[in-house]
C-alpha cells in the first residue's frame, strides 16, 4: 500500500514549547466536546511541553480532566506500573499525577498479566466497548514507530505483544535505571487501533526527527515507517511539528 502525503493537517510552529501548546489545545478541545472522552497520550521527551501546559491549565482552573479516561499506549512486557522503569509509572509522574487525573480513570496496558496475549486482547476489547479513542496524541520514534509499533508493522495491527528493535532498546536505555536488562518485548496498542481514533495528533520536535518526519509524511506509506500509515486517515490526522523537525519537508 502506498500513497502521497495529502489530506491531513500540518501545523508548523517555532519551537517545542509552541508545539506543546498546540497539542494541549487539541486535548482541551476533545475534553470540551466530551468531558468523558477516551484520550491516549505518549511517553518520552516530546510530549513534556504538552504535559506542562495541560497541568498548568488544570491548576488554573481552565481545564477539567476529572471525567476523562486516559489510556496508556504501551508498556514493557512483564514490567508492572510500580516498577521505576515502567512507562506507565513515568507517565504518572510526568503528567497524570500532577494533573490530578483520577487513578480509576487511568487505563494501564496489562503487561505484567500472567497471560499477556489474552490481556492485550482484553485491553483492545475494553477500548472498543468505550467507543474507541476520541483523541490519540502520538509521538514519532526515531525509526518511525508510533507507540511501540516498530518497522514491519502493518496498517491493521491491533493491541499485541511486540519485539523491540535494537534502536528502540538503545533509546530506552536513556531512561532505564538499575542493572536489570531492558526488556526486549512490549505490549502496544496497534496502528489499526490508533487509526480508528476520531482525531489523531502526531507531535514532533527537534532536528533529529527531521528525516524520519519527511519519510513519514512524504514517502510512500509502508511498513518500514509505521507512522506513515496514519496518513490513511486523511483530515482526521493533524501533524504538529516545530521548525527544526519540519526543516526537511518539501
Which residues form the catalytic set?
A: 74, 143, 145, 150
Residue 190, CA distances (Å) to 36, 146, 193, 249 in order = 23, 9, 5, 27
Residue 224, CA distances (Å) to 26, 58, 167, 219 in order = 28, 39, 14, 11
Region 186-210: mean pLDDT is 98
Q: Tell me which residue of 73, 137, 83 sits closest to 106, measured CA to CA.
A: 73
* Domains in the chain: boundaries: 9-242
Query: Is domain 9-242 classified as CATH 3.40.50.1360?
Result: yes
Q: Is this model's pTM higher than 0.85 or not?
A: yes
- E strand or H helix at 52, and its extent? helix 48-59
Beta pairing partners, 225: 222
The number of beta carbons lying within 10 Å of the beta carbon of residue 226 is 29
Q: Tell me which residue of 197, 100, 186, 107 sits closest to 148, measured CA to CA.
A: 186
Give the start-end residues of each E strand in the chain. 9-13, 38-40, 69-71, 74-76, 106-107, 135-139, 160-163, 185-188, 200-204, 237-242
Beta pairing partners, 240: 11, 203
Least confident of 7-21, 148-162, 178-192: 178-192
- Helix orientation angle between 16-33 and 48-59, rounded to the nearest 10 degrees: 50
Q: pLDDT of 67-119, one tens digit each?
A: 999 999 999 999 998 998 999 999 999 999 999 999 999 999 999 999 999 99
Number of C-alpha atoms within 13 angstroms, CB side, residue 241?
25
**Pair type for strands 69-71 and 38-40:** parallel
pLDDT for residue 6: 59
Amino acid at each position: 500500500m502506498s500513497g502521497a502525503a495529502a489530506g491531513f493537517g500540518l501545523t508548523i510552529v517555532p519551537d517545542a514549547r509552541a508545539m506543546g501548546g498546540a497539542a494541549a489545545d487539541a486535548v482541551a478541545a476533545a475534553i470540551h466536546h466530551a468531558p468523558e472522552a477516551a484520550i491516549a497520550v505518549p511517553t518520552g521527551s516530546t510530549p513534556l511541553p504538552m504535559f506542562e501546559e495541560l497541568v498548568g491549565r488544570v491548576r488554573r482552573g481552565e481545564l477539567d480532566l476529572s471525567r476523562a479516561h486516559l489510556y496508556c499506549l504501551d508498556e514493557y512486557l512483564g514490567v508492572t506500573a510500580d516498577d521505576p522503569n515502567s512507562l506507565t509509572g513515568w507517565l504518572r509522574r510526568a503528567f497524570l499525577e500532577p494533573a490530578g487525573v483520577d487513578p480509576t480513570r487511568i487505563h494501564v496496558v496489562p503487561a505484567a498479566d500472567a497471560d499477556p496475549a489474552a490481556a492485550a486482547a482484553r485491553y483492545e476489547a475494553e477500548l472498543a466497548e468505550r467507543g474507541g479513542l476520541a483523541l490519540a496524541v502520538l509521538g514519532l520514534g526515531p525509526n518511525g514507530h508510533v507507540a511501540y509499533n516498530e518497522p514491519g508493522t502493518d496498517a491493521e495491527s491491533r493491541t499485541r505483544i511486540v519485539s523491540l528493535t535494537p534502536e528502540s532498546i538503545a533509546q530506552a536505555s536513556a531512561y532505564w535505571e538499575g542493572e536489570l536488562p531492558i526488556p526486549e518485548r512490549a505490549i502496544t496498542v496497534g496502528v489499526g487501533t490508533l487509526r480508528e481514533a476520531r482525531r489523531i495528533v502526531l507531535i514532533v520536535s527537534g532536528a533529529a526527527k527531521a528525516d524520519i518526519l519527511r519519510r513519514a509524511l512524504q514517502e510512500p506509506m509502508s511498513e518500514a515507517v509505521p507512522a506513515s500509515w496514519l496518513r490513511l486517515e486523511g483530515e482526521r490526522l493533524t501533524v504538529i511539528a516545530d521548525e527544526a523537525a519540519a526543516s526537511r519537508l518539501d
